[in-house]
Amino acid sequence: QVQLVQSGADVKKPGASVKVSCKASGYTFSSYYMHWVRQAPGQGLEWMGRINPRGDGTNYAQKFQGRITVTRDTPTSTVYMELHSLRTEDTAVYYCARDGNNWNFDSWGQGTLVTVSS
Amino acid sequence: QSALTQPASVSGSPGQSITISCTGTSSDVGAYNYVSWYQQHPGKAPKLMIFDVSNRPSGVSNRFSGSKSGNTASLTISGVQAEDEADYYCSSYTSSVTWVFGGGTKLTVL
pLDDT tens-place string over residues B53-101: 999 999 999 999 999 999 999 999 999 999 999 999 999 999 999 999 9
Share of chain A above pLDDT 90, in %: 93
Task: Give the Cα separation of A64 and B4 in Å (integer).
Answer: 19
Q: What does the pLDDT average to over B5-31?
A: 97
The DSSP symbol for B33 reads: S
Q: What does the pLDDT average to over A86-106?
A: 95
The verdict on a CB contact (< 8 Å) between A103 and B3 is: no
Task: Give the Cα separation of B86 and B12 in Å (integer).
Answer: 12
Q: Which residues pair with A12 in a beta bridge?
A: A116
Which residues of B are less than 8 Å from A96 in CB distance?
none
> Is residue A53 pLDDT above 90, yes or no?
no
Nearest CA to B63 out of B53, B49, B74 is that of B49
Please report the DSSP string for B62-80 in residue order.
TTEEEEEETTEEEEEESS-
Looking at chain B, which residue has its C-alpha nearest residue A44? B103
The verdict on a CB contact (< 8 Å) between B104 and A111 is: no
The verdict on a CB contact (< 8 Å) between B98 and A61 is: yes
Which pLDDT value is given to residue B23? Answer: 98
- As a three-state string, the secondary structure of chain A is CCEEEECCCEEECCCCCEEEEEEEECCCHHHCCEEEEEECCCCCEEEEEEECCCCCCEEECHHHCCCEEEEEEHHHCEEEEEECCCCHHHCEEEEEEEECCCCCEEEECCCEEEEECC
Give me chain B's average pLDDT, please: 97
The verdict on a CB contact (< 8 Å) between A103 and B45 is: no
> Is residue A54 pLDDT above 90, yes or no?
no
Which pLDDT value is given to residue A102? Answer: 80
> Is residue A106 pLDDT above 90, yes or no?
yes
